[in-house]
Amino acid sequence: MGTLTRKQRGVTLVESMISLLIFLTVSLGWMSLEANLARTSGTTQVISQAVFVGQSQLDHLRNVPFEDLGNSDSPNYFNEHGLPTTADQAGLVFGTEWQTVTPDNPNLRRVTLTVSWNLELELQDSIQLILTRAK
């Protein structure tokens, strides 16, 4: 191996700065991806809890006599464990309301159950579950 000249011995300041800039750009992109994954994971968990609350309410509506199956008078509120609560409770609160529609066949009723929740004070999300009951 030959001797190195002064120009070939090390990395220049410009090269070091460019390498650092590339590393920081890749790092910021990775951190942004991680933040999005964490947010999506949290939203998925809340939707799963909302489906649980909705399924519990639909199970209750399946046991209501067909003739008494009507619209909800006011929202029912549940906590993240599916237990009844009030709308002003701290933490995650789910509200359920349903509407009953009688299609052309009088022996059928379609119940549309809406489960809504607040993740943040300004943001409200909801899902709908549909149940068709026969006489």
Query: Quick check: is 2 in a domain?
Result: no
Is 26 contained in some domain? yes
Whole-number pLDDT of residue 128: 92
d(CA 87, CA 122): 15
Q: What CA–CA distance (Å, rounded) separates 135 from 71?
A: 17
Provide the number of structural domains found in the chain.
1
Contact 117, 50 (CB under 8 A): yes
Domain that holds residue 53: 11-134
Asked if the structure places residue 6 within a domain, the reply is: no
Which pLDDT tens digit goes with each residue over 3-34?
656 556 677 888 888 999 999 999 998 888 88
Assigned domain for 53 exists: yes
- In sequence order, what are the residues at sequence separation of 6 or more whose Cβ sits closer than 8 angstroms to the Cβ of residue 43? 119
User: Model confidence over 69-106: pLDDT tens digits?
Assistant: 888 887 788 877 777 777 666 678 888 888 998 888 88
Establish if 121 belongs to a structural domain: yes
Over residues 120-133, the pLDDT tens digits come to 544 578 899 999 98
Q: What is the largest CA-CA distance in the chain?
A: 97
Instruction: Tell me if 33 is assigned to some domain.
Output: yes
Q: What is the pTM of this model?
A: 0.65
- Tell me whether residue 1 is in a domain: no
